[in-house]
Chain A
């Protein structure tokens, strides 16, 4: 790939004159922080996106990769970070989608199943391809995505942040599969920002920063993670937080034997969960995505009622309270920034005053005090360094990091005793990630109770004072991150005895 440039409408420059090359049979890591352009570059290579400028050569011949079909013909395929699978279809249906074995337009399900099964065996991918896709674990779904590409005879397989939601054990399994594929002659591009993994499996590493290529070099054992991080960000980065020891204080959040049955009454989504968060501590919840975290938050926030159990915040029983009532006691930074945490088409001001509008000084009987609102917005924009033209700008025009800042600013300034954060740093660049983590620590030091849910195990280990592990809707362990190793946490997450 030579001199690749990409501008997204209206004015987002994703890639600036990037050169990138692959050698057959290698594992090539592409690193950079969120927003550096890694995904965009690979989307261009896999045909999902067209470059604004530049050329691509495969085996010496110049090619135009105008869509994924052309890319597939050239032997290039990509496994996206957000898995592109249709949940209600069977796994093998997802694999053959678009190139289904058929006769006169009619599908041939048995033949499809056979072909996919054979493929999985050949490449050593252990997954039940006859299962409905949404029933599979994330690791399983990832294998289906890989099979999708193998079905189309890829030579170059691009993996975009594949380990983001995997446990340490699943990550190991993935690395074995990658080694397997390499042995069979495939070329792998590994897009990541987890540097220790990158150093473990890659032959060559390319670093991108803010849309530009910084360097490419052989991974011959001389590069350290810290050096990579510095190249990714452009300056020295502190990777680990410094925490001071704190005496445990009074409990702020008490969840006692919380259970939740699914609507049809069959599945137990939450199984007698008991969690306590004290003032001045950060409690983390670790777990493979899909093990009850979503339901736990919904029950805590009030979007869903538990079937049994109690929730108490700051001494008040909120088990049956409405969302509105709970919001006067807690602050919440949701996982889904764009659909839950913000109203994208609304202005920065309108987003900042949400929940604040429930009480004084913004709420005066029937009225909304617009000058108080403006003051609050100005204070928050300055105090949290939110980059925007003014408070009347639409939030959708802000960068991802700034959007998260809006949410964080709003929630922190509510000054509640309890704050719940769900994946607060996902998708953020290093600077914003550092900023958010510092804010979380500041809250803890100020005596707030912090509940942190994250699929980034490193983050949890770094920030939490105490760590719960959730699996299949149950709390299976309560651990002290200072004394316990990451792999042990991984075992609890997966239910494997050590």
Chain B
């Protein structure tokens, strides 16, 4: 029983990482009161360019570089439309998602000359880290050790971002701008600039989530790889009201559910049904959130 459990939790941490990273990105937009739903597209873009950069230049670091740049570009586009041109944020987000889907699908075809997915042994994945000391701890050690490094980055970021949001001037101003932009404007700060930074953070974090998807979780790129994770991260942000550590915890819960599905497959449950678990979970999350807010 125990080895199954450790395996499950180990895999859960792995699955949780892209969701948590994207959620951290969306979290900043949430606090700035920007209805940013472009995480899905930014993640997808990041995943594609991670493979592109790593494959073309032979090292995973180039993958990270290209991915983060692509996320930055999408963030700029988002800001141009939603902040400067004042297009509805929802529409802008959907537009970015479609842009990412269209561009990556097309590029997959045009650059790699394949349809569906690009798989190659020559794609260098991001390195896994062995935590030598923690490894010795029974049970916990096996869960925590031997992950691609973004997993650890995500966990650390949960605490870092908590500090940023609640203990720094940037965090204070961001939250103020989201709640009462007039107050922020009245002291001479630029609400638009703060929103811009929240978009940039979202782009970088979501594309980094994409890096993990295509260079860590698996080592390939397939069409529409993000497959709804951006939406799930959005649901999580809303549920925990944008708090960093709960975001991490909720993402782990989702990770558990996603891998529970894979576990069930061994018992002859058709794969289509097990694949539905995370989405059913999101519905349940939505349900409990709704229940909770109507009783406050």
Q: Which residues from 170 to 205 on chain B have a C-beta closer than 8 Å to any C-beta of chain A?
A: 170, 172-173, 175-176, 179-180, 182-189
Interface: B121 (CB within 8 A): no
Q: Which residues of A214-241 have CB atoms within 8 Å of chain B's CB atoms? A: none
Contacts of A85 in B (CB 8 A): 180, 183
A94 touches B169 (CB 8 A): no
Q: How far is the CB of A177 from chain B (nearest CB, A)?
A: 20
* Given A72-B188, A263-B295, A263-B296: A86 in contact with B183 (beta carbons within 8 A): yes
A48-B296 in contact given A97-B176, A102-B169, A106-B168 (Cβ < 8 Å): no
A80 vs B181: C-alpha distance in the bound complex, in angstroms?
14
Task: Answer yes or no: B167 CB below 8 A from chain A CBs.
Answer: yes
- Rounded to whole angstroms, the CA-CA distance of A475 and B169 in the bound complex is 44
CB-based contact B169/A80 at 8 Å:
no
**Smallest distance from the beta carbon of A495 to chain B beta carbons, Å?**
28
- Contact, CB under 8 Å: B187 / A68: yes
Contact in complex: A47, B187 (CB < 8 Å): no
Q: How far is the CB of A396 from chain B (nearest CB, A)?
A: 15
Binary CB contact string for chain A from 316 to 332 against chain B (1 if under 8 A, 0 otherwise): 00000000000000000
Q: Which of B168, B189, B294 contacts A98 (CB 8 A)?
A: B189
A69 CB-CB contact with B under 8 Å = yes
List which A62-94 residues lie within 8 A (CB) of chain B: 67-72, 78, 80, 82, 84-89, 93-94
B182 interface neighbour in A69, A84, A263, Cβ under 8 Å: A84
Task: Please encode chain A, from 130 to 162, with 1 for each CB lying within 8 Å of some chain B CB and 0 for all others.
Answer: 000000000000000000100000000000000
User: Chain B nearest CB: distance from A9 CB in Å?
Assistant: 13
User: Does A264 reach chain B (CB closer than 8 Å)?
Assistant: yes
Task: Select from chain B the residue with minimum beta-carbon distance to A101.
Answer: B169
Cross-chain contact B173 with A97 (CB below 8 angstroms): yes
Q: When A68-B188, A80-B186 are in contact, do A87 and B179 touch as well, CB less than 8 Å?
A: yes
- How near does chain B come to A53, taking the closest CB pair, in angstroms? 23
Is A483's beta carbon under 8 Å from chain B?
A: no
Interface size counted on chain A using CB atoms at 8 A: 30
Of the listed residues B172, B173, B184, B187, the one surrounded by the most CB atoms of chain A closer than 10 A to its CB is B187
Whether A97 contacts B185 by the Cβ 8 Å rule is no
| Residues of A contacting B167 in the complex (Cβ-Cβ under 8 angstroms) | 106-107
B182 near A82 (CB under 8 angstroms)?
yes
Decide: B186 and A68 in contact? CB cutoff 8 A: yes
B176–A105 contact, CB under 8 A?
Answer: no
A187, B296: Cα distance in complex, Å: 46
| Range, interface on chain B | 20 to 34
Q: Is the interface of A mostly helix, strand, loop or mixed?
A: loop
What is the distance, in angstroms, from A206's C-beta to the closest C-beta of chain B? 23
Residue of A72, A106, A264 contacting most chain B CB atoms (<10 Å): A106
State the CA gap A82–B185 with chains docked (Å): 13
**Chain A positions within 8 Å of B189 at CB level:** 97-98
In the complex, what's the smallest C-beta–C-beta distance from B199 to chain A, in angstroms? 20
Q: In the complex, A466→B207 CA distance in Å?
A: 65
Contacts of B180 in A (CB 8 A): 84-87
Chain A 349-385 against B: per-residue CB contact (8 Å), 1 yes, 0 no?
0000000000000000000000000000000000000
Cα distance A89–B173 in the bound complex, in angstroms: 11
Q: Is the beta-carbon distance between B172 and A47 smaller than 8 angstroms?
A: no
State whether A69 touches B172 (Cβ < 8 A). no
B200-216 residues at the A interface, CB under 8 angstroms? none
When distances are taken between beta carbons in the complex, the residues of chain B under 8 Å from A102 are: 168-169
* Closest chain B CB from A300 CB (angstroms): 21
Interface residues of B in 255-288 (CB under 8 A from A): none
Task: Report Cα–Cα, A99/B182, bound state, in Å.
Answer: 16
Contact status of A98 and B182, CB under 8 A, knowing A107-B169, A263-B295, A264-B296: no
- Render A85-124 as a binary contact track against B, CB cut-off 8 A, 1 for contact: 1111100011001111010011100000000000000000
Contact in complex: B172, A97 (CB < 8 Å)? yes
Report the separation of the CA atoms of residues A89 and B187 in the bound assembly, to the nearest whole angstrom.
Answer: 15
- Whose C-beta in chain B lies nearest to the C-beta of A99? B187
- Cβ of A148: which chain B residues have Cβ within 8 Å of it? 186-187
Contacts of A98 in B (CB 8 A): 173, 184, 187-189
A82 cross-chain contacts in B, Cβ below 8 A: 182
Asked whether, in the complex, the Cβ of A89 is within 8 Å of the Cβ of B176, the reply is yes
Residues of A contacting B179 in the complex (Cβ-Cβ under 8 angstroms): 86-88
Name A77's closest neighbour in chain B (CB-CB).
B186
- Closest chain-A Cβ to B277's Cβ sits at a distance in Å of 33
- Given A263-B296, A264-B296; A84-B185 close (CB under 8 Å): yes
- Chain B hits for A78, CB < 8 A: 186
Known: A89-B176, A97-B176, A107-B167. A84 touches B188 (CB 8 A): no
How far, in whole Å, are A82 and B182 apart by their CA atoms in the complex? 9
Q: Kindly list chain A residues whose C-beta atoms are within 8 Å of the C-beta of B182.
A: 80, 82, 84
A67 touches B188 (CB 8 A): yes
Inside 8 A of A68's CB, which chain B residues have their CB?
A: 185-188
Chain A residues in the interface with B (C-beta under 8 A): 47-48, 67-72, 78, 80, 82, 84-89, 93-94, 97-100, 102, 105-107, 148, 263-264
Q: List 25 A-B contacts (CB under 8 A).
A: A68-B186, A68-B188, A69-B188, A71-B188, A78-B186, A84-B183, A84-B186, A85-B183, A86-B183, A88-B179, A89-B175, A94-B183, A97-B172, A97-B187, A97-B189, A98-B188, A100-B169, A102-B169, A105-B169, A105-B170, A106-B167, A106-B168, A148-B186, A263-B296, A264-B296
Given contacts A98-B184, A99-B187, 4 further A-B contacts (CB under 8 A): A68-B185, A87-B179, A97-B176, A102-B169
Lowest 4 CB-CB distances: which A-B pairs, in order?
A98-B187, A69-B188, A68-B188, A84-B186
